[in-house]
Amino acid sequence: MTPPRVAHNYERETVTEHPRRSDVQAAERDLQLRTLCEIHSPLARLIYLAGLRDYNTGLYHHEGLASRYSEDAACEALADCHRLAFRELLSASLEEIVGHLESYMGSTATAPADFFAAWNTLRPYQVAVPAQTDSLSAEFLFSNLKVALAILESRYQGHTASAPAA
């Protein structure tokens, strides 16, 4: 049996723990080079990749990858990259998560108050975890995101409270 591989560097390593088909590896490299390299935050990548997953089947869909490789290879590559983004975020410090959250918030067209309200009530990050994620890891990330959200929200409230009145 081949020993498992561990992903260390997003740009250089593969995600799956065991050897994979070459078409899946090629699809993953393509995805990293054409798309994911432009999404700098693991939180933004996590949300982007979760958005490519059909919530009824758990399968990932990406027309461009599927047309260049196959639907199966594209699905597997997307799932691998999704798991990697999750692991990157899971291993991030709280300070880094606050930065990722702020970066993500800034990339949306949402006013901070609306962003905080939605993330505090809807908790969109809960549907962004990859399938078969163990519950302890998911809950750990959810807890870190809730704390990071509270920190970021308090910083924004502090900025608006200290801003001079017009």
Per-residue pLDDT tens listing for the chain (166 residues): 433 333 334 343 444 444 568 999 999 999 999 999 999 999 999 999 999 999 999 999 999 999 999 999 999 999 999 999 999 999 999 999 999 999 999 999 999 999 999 999 999 999 999 999 999 999 999 999 999 999 999 999 976 655 555 5
Q: What is the pLDDT of residue 161?
A: 56
In this predicted structure, what is the pLDDT of residue 164? 54
Calpha distance 41→100 (Å, rounded): 6
pTM: 0.82
pLDDT at 17: 47
> Can you tell me the distance from the alpha carbon of 61 to that of 66, in angstroms, rounded to the nearest whole number?
8
pLDDT at res. 11: 41
**CA-angle at 144, arms to 112 and 53, nearest 5°:** 75
For residue 134, what are its two tokens? 């163990």
pLDDT at 163: 54
* pLDDT for residue 158: 76
List for the chain the helix, strand, coil content (%; round to 5).
65, 0, 35
